[in-house]
Amino acid sequence: MNILVTGASSGFGNLMVADLIKAGHRVAGTVRDPRGRNKEAAQILRNLGVEVVDIDVTDDASVEAGVAAAEATLGQIDVLVNNAGAGAHGLQENFSGDDFQRVFDVNVFGVQRMIRAVLPKMRARQSGLILNVTSLLGRVTVPFLGPYNAAKWAVEALSENYRWELSQFGVDVAVIEPGGFPTNFFNNLIQPSSRDRDASYGEFAGAPEAMLQSMGESLSNNPLQVPQIVSDAVLEVIHTAPGQRQFRNEVDKSGMADPVIPMNVQAEKATEVLFTAYGMEGMMKLKTNVANAA
């Protein structure tokens, strides 16, 4: 298959593209400014066999041009993996509207931009897979990660809507829900542009830093919580036949997924009841065809 992965230069994305290449897929990976500040990372990807495309998911024109370049190289895009994302950390009250805009521009609006760019041709072919990397923090919240929690909850909802609206066009949608992992995610968290509310919080203003340190230590000390299992989950979904893929796929060895899994099962049952009541149950089943089966 021909697969486009956003945020390919580091973290989960870097593992994904390497594993997809090994599995025999043709892969395009997005990198911001691959001829400048990310030149070295882009070359490493090329050495793996990845087609590097320059995409800034926060920019409409960049997304349109980058997707067109990927299509020109690959021929068509069978799978889009929306992996690019940005974390945020701090007292939620400290984050301004512009701060929230910055977080959502990458994590939510960037996902929408990418999906809109690839969907017309997928719908025309009546085949394709949209795979969004969300988070278990899109199902439950952890304090001091407020804007990130909100963004990932939004992507979960966005993904559900696309699942229903695209099911009759043969385009499949699924989400990967990782827990916390010891990656460079913790080194690139968006901070509030101002901490002017700290004083009124007193000693509690130091709680975000304490939480982050504790979480980082816990994840680093867990030998099972390795980023590779996220890439493995992505490949498993991609290699599952259309119409048989699980919508929500929890990936975690820290115990965080344990309470979320039954929530996800119940959400699926509740949706089935609701859709049946309104005569929309057919939208829960992907319409597969010859193109899908191939």
pLDDT tens digit string along 221-254? 889 989 999 999 999 999 999 999 999 999 999 9
Q: Which two tokens stand for residue 250?
A: 């929890």
pLDDT at 294: 37
CA distance 45 to 125: 29
Residues annotated catalytic, as ranges = 148
Q: Which two tokens stand for residue 104?
A: 């959502």
CA distance 60 to 110: 9
Residues 6 or more apart whose Cβ sits within 8 Å of residue 273? none
Q: What are the residues facing 130 on neighbouring strands?
A: 80, 173
pLDDT at 182: 77
pLDDT at 215: 86
Measured from the Cβ of residue 183, the count of other Cβ atoms closer than 10 Å reads 18
